[in-house]
Amino acid sequence: MSLPVHLVESLSGVGVGSVVEVTGDEAHHAVAVRRLREGEQVVLTDGLGTSVTGEVTSTGKRVFAVTVASVSHDDRPSPAITVVQALPKGDRGELAVEVLTEVGVDRIVPWAASRSVAVWKGERATKSHAKWQATAREAAKQSRRSWLPTVAPLAATGDLAAVVAEADLAVVLHEDATAPLSAVQAPASGRIVVVVGPEGGIAPDELAVLEVAGARTVRLGSEVLRTSTAGVVAVAALLARTPRWS
């Protein structure tokens, strides 16, 4: 059985024998909800590549302490994957973030596409972005990631040119594309960007912006996937041809 994973703000300077305190909501959930007890073994990670394993030596209402038995440092995964995810309707946004995190995406960019049914404005934008961040955090713990993905601020179409331009490979998923994703050679390092449109499809002017910036328009197959699942399928297909999955 895998050990439970908990996120902490920092593991800087921590070594074998160090005592690390976990506080706040993370500790409350572990102690009050999961019933964490002294003597249990857990993994702590800072989300920046460092993880420690150790024994719980004390617990409180919103705190628990771990004595470190081992420390590991993981390099940042390469190639790094960014997914530009058009805002889906309902709770499908959280579903997309969850599965993208589980498959190993490094950055998720929420996109206010012109045909997106969902709209993030004002207080709703703040709450929705926070939900995506919380979903990524929990999914990273569940999938035992030592590097926590980032959820970027909401992007407009005009912001995407810069995201695409920084990529070593950028692809846009489009059901009318003639080139299959299977024909694309994934780079062994650098950054890959995958753009996923909304339920209503990517508007022609948006597609033009992405293509001018250097993105390649591709299709997954004859089936048309939901926006909340298309990204994870595309990322998996690309990762299977990189050293990350070799």
Look at phi and psi of residue 225 and say left if phi exceeds 0, alpha if psi is from -120 to 50, else beta: beta
**Domain identity same for 57 and 147:** no
Residue 128 backbone dihedrals phi, psi, to 5 degrees: -65, -40
pLDDT in tens, 115-124: 998 999 999 9
- What percentage of the chain has pLDDT greater than the value 90? 91
Comparing 9-13, 125-129, 172-176, 221-225, the range with the smallest average pLDDT is 221-225
pLDDT, tens digit (0-9, with 9 covering 90-100), for 177-236: 999 999 999 999 999 999 999 998 999 999 999 999 999 999 998 888 999 999 999 999
**Are 68 and 90 part of one and the same domain?**
no
The 10s digit of each residue's pLDDT in 35-87 is 999 999 999 999 999 999 999 999 998 999 999 999 999 999 999 999 999 99
Q: Are residues 132 and 216 in the same domain?
A: yes
How many domains does one find in the chain? 2
| CATH at residue 11 | 2.40.240.20
Residue 137 C-beta-side C-alpha neighbours within 13 Å: 13
Domain that holds residue 99: 80-245
The percent helix, strand, coil of the chain (3-state, each to 5) is 35, 25, 40
Task: Identify whether residues 69 and 85 lie together within a single domain.
Answer: no
